Structure 1
Amino acid sequence: MDFTSQFWIYLILIGTVLSLLFVVVLAYQNRHTGSAANETTGHVWDEDLTEYDNPLPAWWLYLLYLTVVFGAVYLVLYPGMLPNGGFLNWTQLGQYEAEISDANQAYAETMEAYGQSTPSELAKNPQAIKTAARLFSQNCALCHGSDARGAPGIPNLRDDDWIYDSSPDAILTTILDGRYGVMPGWESVLGGREASEDVANYVLQLSGEVVNVDSAKRGEAKYKTICAACHGIDGKGNPLLGGMNLTDRIWVHGGSFEQIVDVIANGVTNQMPAYRNILGKTKSKLLAGYVLSISD
């Protein structure tokens, strides 16, 4: 049976009403015990400790009745007993939208001023950066980390290495429209695993690492034929294509020999989602300003 069918709604409703009535009836019947004054229940503990058979105190009963009435009224006013939000027509979504509307009105003037500023100007505005830090925490920290230092496969936003350029406009474009990067696997094109290792040695040589010179020499020719189109002849990358700089010893997907060989042989795919429809341009500008403010 479908859990969202009307059957479950009425089952819960009937159970709730019967439970409230049962509590009231039980308490009402126990307002008098029918026992004589100072008569005990017959229970004895530790030889001489007994329990009096006294009725429930009146104040306790009245408080219980008041609690039951409050509960019943609450369930009728709010979506407890009646469908469609109760008499007040309250819903979680409606309250959320009302609070968002109130917040937008309260911050409209401030956000309008932010919207007229550039990311570079916002990066120098302490109050704007406080707001942007909260936006980063809510929207970006899941991937880039709370400290913005990234993770394997996720760029570090605090260093001076930029895949798609470090200009404020480029950063804003990345946030607004996202990025989709593909590094194809080249093992079959290069001629096998050993050829991928040759190219990896040459790539490490570009970054100043000590490598197998003979292997790097063989990899150089393959690099200039296949890889230079995106990463450049000198290995410094191509921001227009998202080709990473291979000379600065900053490795998004790991810098060990085995990891580099794996990337060359099998390729990688990365996607930065677009936030234009989620945050809008003003909040995206704030995030761009925040990224500029924390980068070295």
Structure 2
Amino acid sequence: MSDFLGAGWSTYIALVTLVGIFWCIWLLFSVRKVKAVLRPDGEVADTGHVWDGDLRELNNPLPRWWMWMFLISCIFALVYLALYPGLGSYPGLLGYSTDGALMSSMTTANDELKPVYAKYVKMDIVDVAADPKAREMGQRLFLNSCAQCHGSDAGGGKGFPNLTDSDWLYGGSPENIKTTITNGRGGVMPPFGAVLNAGQVQDVANYVRSLSGLPADDLKAARGADVFKANCVACHGPDAKGNIALGSPNLTDKTWLYGASEATITETVTKGRTAMMPAQDKVLSPEKIQLLTAYVWGLSNNKPVQAK
């Protein structure tokens, strides 16, 4: 569809729309002057189409009321297209857009709900997470905004982190979680297919598997350790425990975002991975982000907390 967003297509769509409307108006007035054709016996001539033996299609001009309704419809279409978007990329005189209407309705809703959320904004995230009503509101926000990727149970899936465990790519503190929700994250694992040969990729894949106690070829893993030191420590660290500042995962635990098989790790090393957590600061108000942060933090810190 991106091929149809250029200026040329916009002009084409606008011209086709306007020509179609004006052609309808011309057609209306061109047949307006046609008078009924009478047969010698004085009856209106028909078109020659007859159904059920005696139902004839007459050749009468259009009724005047129908012509006025048709003309009014065409005029309405022209006025509408002048005021609202519809002619290609022309925004309309009123500047209306569905995106703008959505943002306006969200802003209005956020303003109306501010008093409900107000008391939680000034509270510590841990205390908010301990409040039953706050958790209920946070869960609803999660289901509306986050469940599409992380699942309704927040258990995640291939390429989408599990939010109920203690493994965090960018840190699991309330502050880090809030930053992630607010600003989003963009994770990139660069491809090494052009840097390492197939043997080196297999070696480092076996080494990475051995780091978390998975079955691995000892000889390949030994060679893979040198490959890892030369190419991977910059992000994952010399101890392979990752770096929350970069979002690079800990390779020594048993948590795998894309899978732990040798084939999957080989694919990751060869082709790389790209992940995106969309920013929510344009979608959710600060009050909602506070509640959502507390709910997400509480998923992996669900021991009873005494509210102050």
Could you say which TM-score interval applies, normalised by the shorter chain? 0.5 to 0.7
In terms of fraction of residues, the more helix-rich structure is 1
Residue 286 and residue 38 in structure 1: after superposition, are their counterparts in 2 closer, same or farther (change >3 A)? same
Counterpart in the other structure of 2:169: 163
Which residue of 97, 110, 115 maps to 2:113? 110
Alignment equivalent of 2:293, drawn from 285, 288, 293: 288
Encode CA deviations 1:108-144: one digit per residue, 9 max, x unaligned: 041465472665527943234324433336xxx4xx3
Question: Which of 143, 147, 160 lines up with 1:133 in the alignment?
Answer: 143
Letter in 2 for 1:164: Y
Q: How many residues align?
A: 281
* TM-score, reference length from structure 2: 0.64
State the 1:249 CA deviation.
Answer: 2.9
Matched with 1:92 is: 96
Query: Compared with structure 1, are the counterparts of its residues 294 and 42 closer, same or farther at alpha carbon in structure 2 (3 Å cutoff)?
Result: same
Contact 2:185 2:279 in 1 (8 A): no
**Structure 2 partner of 1:268:** 272
Unaligned runs of 5+ in 1: none
User: Equivalences for 1:32-181 in 2 at 5 Å?
Assistant: 32-35=36-39, 36-37=42-43, 42-44=48-50, 48-51=53-56, 53=58, 55=60, 61-76=64-79, 78-79=81-82, 89-93=93-97, 96-97=99-100, 100-111=103-114, 113-114=116-117, 116=121, 121=128, 124-136=134-146, 141=148, 144=149, 152-157=158-163, 159-181=165-187
Structure 1 counterpart of 2:34, one-letter code: Q
Query: Bigger shift: 166-175 or 61-70?
Result: 61-70
RMSD, aligned CA: 4.7
Equivalent in the alignment of 2:250: 245
Cα distance in 2 for residues equivalent to 1:255 and 1:42: 78
Structure 1 pair 33–278 and aligned structure 2 pair: CA distance change class (3 A): same
Of stretches 270-279 and 243-252 in structure 1, the one that deviates more from structure 2 is 270-279
Tell me which of 183, 197, 202 is aligned to 1:197: 202
Q: Residue 64 of structure 1: CA displacement? A: 4.2
Q: What are the Cα deviations for residues 209-268 of structure 1, in whole angstroms up to 9, with x where unaligned?
A: 22223443554576578756754666544434434222333322432213324545x473
* Native 8 Å contact 2:155 2:162 kept in 1: yes
Which residue number corresponds to residue 278 of structure 1? 282
TM normalised by structure 1 equals 0.66
Gaps of 5+ in 2: 1-6, 303-308
Q: Which amino acid aligns with 1:239?
A: I
Q: Against the structure 1 CA distance between its residues 107 and 64, is the aligned structure 2 distance closer, same or farther, given a 3 Å change threshold?
A: farther
Given that 1:177 and 1:276 are in contact with CA atoms closer than 8 Å, whether structure 2 keeps it comes out as: yes
- Matched residue of 1:107: which SS? helix
Residues 237 and 246, structure 1, Cα contact 8 Å, conserved in 2: yes
Query: Bigger shift: 153-162 or 200-209?
Result: 153-162
1:254 partner SS: coil
Report the Cα offset of residue 174 of structure 1.
2.0
Q: What code does the residue aligned with 1:108 have?
A: D
Q: Does the 8 A contact of 1:205 with 1:216 survive in 2? A: yes
Change beyond 3 A, Cα 1:125–1:56: farther
Distance 1:181 1:107, change over 3 A: closer
For residue 213 of structure 1, the aligned residue among 215, 218, 241 is: 218
